[in-house]
Amino acid sequence: MALIIFTSLFVIVIILLYIYLKRSYSSSPDDLPGVKPHIFFGNLINSGILTGKSTFAQVMFDYQRRFGDKFQFWLGSHRCLVFCRMEHAQTIFADHHTFEQSPLFLPNFDLFCPNGITMLTGARWKRHIRVLLPMLKRAKIIGHLDTIVECADRFIDQNLHPGQVHRDLISCCQSFTMNVIGLIGFNSDFDIHVNLPIKKAIQDILFYIPLLMMTPWVPRWLAKIYLKCNWKYQRAYRLTQEFAEKLIEEEQNKQIGMEDERPNNLIASMVSSLNEQANDEDVSSGLTRSEIFDEVLTMMLAAYETTSTVLLWFIFFASKNPQVQQRMKDELREHHLLMTDDLTCVPPLTPDNLASLTYCECVTKEVLRLAPIGDLTTRMAVRDTIVDDVMVHRDQTLFIALHNINTDGRYWLHEDSRKFAPERFLAEDQNHHPLAMNSFGGGHRACIGQELAWLELKTIIVRMMQRGVKFEDASENIGDYDERITFFPTNLAVREDKNHDPLAMIPFGGGHRACFGQELAWLELKTVIVRIMQRGITLEDASEHTGSYDERITVIPNNFAVRVRID
């Protein structure tokens, strides 16, 4: 009897669950157009995202072409309204009383950083932004220009070797951006002061975060069990937490007796605000220790995934457009910033001369506009409202298709809007609408690190061009991209051609005992070569010219025979 009752109840529960899911996924006449979803997976399978056939950016373009500027997309069990016009973004970003950050902005990220600023809303967000934002404003960031230049030089010296085909630039770019945030944000040189186990732990943490973020259909309880039982993740989390605790402790020791000094970096600002009784009722009450740890991890993730991706896209676009690299170097030459024949001397970069490089700024803008770094941002309605005649109910998630707007021909008039053309910012698109280019989101929830990302990107681009780096296209460089938290180019392969290291060519020796007659020899040789060519002389190979050589004080060609012809 008990078995019959249990079986009956089980069948009833299954039927009710099916009816509930069926109704949840059913469309109504008032719904925006879209593709019929699958239960649990929504549109992730039939769009090709889950199977790897398409990326979010490609799907957003395809759906806009099929359904127009407003459509719906099911992210797992979440029905999302997608808006693709600049005017939509303007309406949504401007109304911060109605639209707040959505948990789907970074799905499942709160499993790792529940107190990270990207996941917070309301009074708690205000409490965190009060501590973090002052250190990330342009007036503060520009003071770290020399540090960024130092990291850029290290990146070039360690990773860009002339003549080689570079296929593993992803990790190199990630290392560069991690070093920048380490030095600027935490006053720690990750290359020198962070040991290998900690680096590996941070990389492991940053592996699992996008893994679960890209699987929003997985039940949260199952994701929690997976992380709890994953010994590798638990070890990485423990080591990363110990590293963050060490940063906090070191900063606390520095601040002893220096209470009157104002913080000069992120970790100093956070530690100076440390207050275990911090609460949302008082937005000036500071941060707790666990909140500081989550913010440290959030900042490292932002550096590891986002800024490094933009740098990769610059390298990709530069390798495909050598004329852009040449024009940048021409501009540097005009401002006397290009490296001269003295390869040990690179003109310094200052805020003023960096700001004067108009074309280099156009290139930076075009990379941010065209690269599919973050294809969309999200908002959640906190009350019922209407957007472009679409009824939006409370708790409804909205997607703003940033990459669609960034490449929309209705807002970009110069050439093909999906073509890499930095000149557009000097021509018809010079005075484009601010929201037509939306790489960092908008409104009160725009990326708080955008000033650092902008300065970081422009600085390393200029520095590479300053130092004579030239990226050449390689056959494997096919232009595909993979999707994690951001979109990064896959199969990226470029050949780097750079002015050689001074000691890679030492015909006159080096140091204090180098040949003191080298200037005469250099001028003498160059002059006679130029004069021979000036006089129309052609040197032709003769049959006796075998290419062997004899050794005396120097090594001279043997059986040397040429035929001279004067034009």
Mean pLDDT confidence for 437-462? 91
Q: Could you tell me if 401 and 542 lie in one domain? A: no
Q: Could you tell me if 536 and 491 lie in one domain? A: no
Strand, coil or helix: 381: strand
Q: Could you tell me if 559 and 477 lie in one domain? A: no
- The number of folded domains in the chain is 2
Strand, coil or helix: 414: coil
- Give the pair of three-digit tokens for residue 240: 């990363």
Q: Name, of 26-30, 372-376, 390-394, 545-549, the range with top average pLDDT.
A: 390-394
By DSSP bridging, strand 549-551 and strand 487-489 are: unpaired
Q: Is 1 exposed, middle or buried (0-12, 13-18, 19+ CB in 10 A)?
A: exposed
Q: Is the pLDDT confidence value at 232 over 70?
A: yes
Q: How sure is the predictor about 503, in pLDDT bands with cuts at 50, 70 and 90?
A: very low
Instruction: Name the percent of the chain lying above pLDDT 70.
Output: 79
Strand, coil or helix: 203: helix
Please indicate, yes or no, if residue 78 is contained in any of the structural domains. Answer: no
Please indicate, yes or no, if residue 249 is contained in any of the structural domains. Answer: yes
Q: How sure is the predictor about 94, in pLDDT bands with cuts at 50, 70 and 90?
A: very high
- Of the candidates 501, 528, 546, which is a domain's last residue? 501
Q: Could you tell me if 432 and 530 lie in one domain? A: no
Please indicate, yes or no, if residue 90 is contained in any of the structural domains. Answer: no
Compute the distance between CA of residue 183 and CA of residue 169 in angstroms, rounded to an integer. 21
Q: Could you tell me if 393 and 536 lie in one domain? A: no
Angle CA(290)–CA(302)–CA(404) in degrees, nearest 5?
135
Q: Could you tell me if 284 and 395 lie in one domain? A: yes
Out of 76-85, 90-99, 335-344, pick the least confident: 335-344
Q: Could you tell me if 391 and 313 lie in one domain? A: yes
| Residue 38 per-residue DSSP state | B
Q: Could you tell me if 522 and 491 lie in one domain? A: no
Q: Could you tell me if 415 and 548 lie in one domain? A: no
pLDDT at 389: 93
Please indicate, yes or no, if residue 488 is contained in any of the structural domains. Answer: yes
pLDDT at 359: 97
Q: How sure is the predictor about 550, in pLDDT bands with cuts at 50, 70 and 90?
A: low
**Sequence-separated (6 or more) residues with CB below 8 Å from residue 233:** 204, 205, 208, 227
- Give the pair of three-digit tokens for residue 316: 């990709």
**Sequence-separated (6 or more) residues with CB below 8 Å from residue 436:** 86, 405, 406, 408, 411, 412
Please indicate, yes or no, if residue 163 is contained in any of the structural domains. Answer: yes
Q: Is the pLDDT confidence value at 124 over 90?
A: yes
Q: Could you tell me if 471 and 535 lie in one domain? A: no
Q: How sure is the predictor about 541, in pLDDT bands with cuts at 50, 70 and 90?
A: low
Give per-residue pLDDT as tens, 291-312.
999 999 888 888 877 888 899 9
Mean pLDDT confidence for 44-54? 87
Residue 426 has a CB neighbour count (10 Å cut-off) of 12
Please give the torsion angle defined by the CA atoms of residues 113, 114, 118 and 121, in that order, rounded to the nearest 10 degrees: -170
Q: How sure is the predictor about 355, in pLDDT bands with cuts at 50, 70 and 90?
A: very high
Please indicate, yes or no, if residue 360 is contained in any of the structural domains. Answer: yes
Q: Could you tell me if 391 and 468 lie in one domain? A: yes
Q: Could you tell me if 269 and 135 lie in one domain? A: yes
CATH number for the domain harbouring residue 465 = 1.10.630.10
Number of H helices, E strands in the chain: 19, 16
Please check whether residue 379 is in contact with residue 400, taking contact to mean a CB–CB distance below 8 angstroms.
yes
Q: Listing from the earlier edge strand, what are the strands of the sheet with 397-400?
A: 70-75, 78-83, 397-400, 377-381, 99-100
Please indicate, yes or no, if residue 549 is contained in any of the structural domains. Answer: yes
Give one word for 401, left, alpha or beta, with left for phi > 0 and alpha for psi -120 to 50.
Answer: beta
Pick the closest to residue 413 from 402, 427, 401, 403 (CA basis): 427
Please indicate, yes or no, if residue 511 is contained in any of the structural domains. Answer: no
Average pLDDT, the chain: 83
Q: Which domain holds residue 529?
A: 518-566
